[in-house]
Amino acid sequence: MIHKIIAYLLRIIVTLLFWTLRVEIRGASALKKLEEPTLIAIWHSQLLLLAPLIKKVISAIPISILISKSRDGNIPAAYAATYPRVSAIRVGHKGRHHALLEVIHTLDKNHLVIITPDGPRGPIYTIKPGIIFAAKKCSAPIIAMSWKASRCIRLNSWDKFCIPLPFSKITVTFSPPLAFSEGDEPQTIENELKKALDTSSC
């Protein structure tokens, strides 16, 4: 219960902060024209504005996000549930294979799945193989999402979590869909995705 209370308070705080921001969105057409299951990749440090930014662009498509099944993930999962048509796929430290299967099952239902390639505990800005495996298994394109704030603070956490200051300008970039096939080398995919994620990160 306490997690839900904190989640709603966080939702209020993030919403109030978001109202003060000047937001410029680039590449939004990549999301608005979705006709197939798609993965969105975003660095863990940029999760704070994920929900309001995604909902600003699209609202009708069901969205699932991978969140740690540890105690640290309880509040983020409850926070995600405060948004309509948003659900969490909880990932246990020893249950990553099961979580990956659930991601594939969710993509098969034509949902949008959001993954932090360097989450839940790093290393920072390192792409783990799960997102690439899921994309190739489901023939699902990946859209890299990143944002940059004109003024922000970074927490002293493993991911250098980014919090924009009120009245900052936020520039959001969605990459064109990155499509991969079974024959593509994982390292090539990783390099291309990392380049797209780093384009305008905070």
Give the domain CATH number at 44. 3.40.1010.10
Indicate the range of 37-46, 57-66, 94-103, 177-186 predicted with least confidence.
94-103
182 domain-assigned: yes
86 domain-assigned: yes
Indicate the range of 2-6, 48-52, 66-70, 158-162 predicted with least confidence.
66-70
76-81: long-range pairs with CB below 8 Å, 24+: 76/47, 77/3, 78/3, 78/4, 78/6, 78/7, 79/7, 79/10, 79/11, 79/51, 80/51, 81/7
d(CA 104, CA 131): 10
Indicate the range of 55-64, 88-97, 192-201 predicted with least confidence.
88-97
| Alpha helices for 21-114 (secondary structure H) | 29-32, 50-57, 74-80, 96-108
Torsion of CA 100, 104, 106, 108, to 10 degrees: 180
Amino acid letter, 196: A
Domain span at residue 129 reads 2-197
Amino acid letter, 39: L
Counting beta carbons within 10 angstroms of the beta carbon of residue 71, is it exposed (0 to 12), middle (13 to 18) or buried (19 or more)?
Answer: exposed
For residue 48, the tally of other CB atoms under 10 A from its CB is 20
202 domain-assigned: no
User: Residue 183 pLDDT > 80, yes or no?
Assistant: no
89 domain-assigned: yes
Q: Give yes or no for a contact between 93 and 72, defined as CB atoms under 8 angstroms apart.
A: no
Q: How many residues does the chain have?
A: 202
Per-residue pLDDT band at 117 (split at 50, 70, 90):
very high
78 domain-assigned: yes
Average pLDDT over residues 177-198: 83
Nearest to 40 by CA among 146, 170, 192: 146
170 domain-assigned: yes
pTM above 0.85, yes or no: yes
117 domain-assigned: yes
d(CA 177, CA 37): 11
Average pLDDT over residues 122-145: 88
Average pLDDT, the chain: 86
122 domain-assigned: yes
Question: Which tens digit of pLDDT belongs to each residue from 28-72?
Answer: 887 777 777 899 999 999 999 999 998 888 877 788 898 887 787
Higher pLDDT, 14 or 100: 14
Query: How many folded domains does the chain comprise?
Result: 1
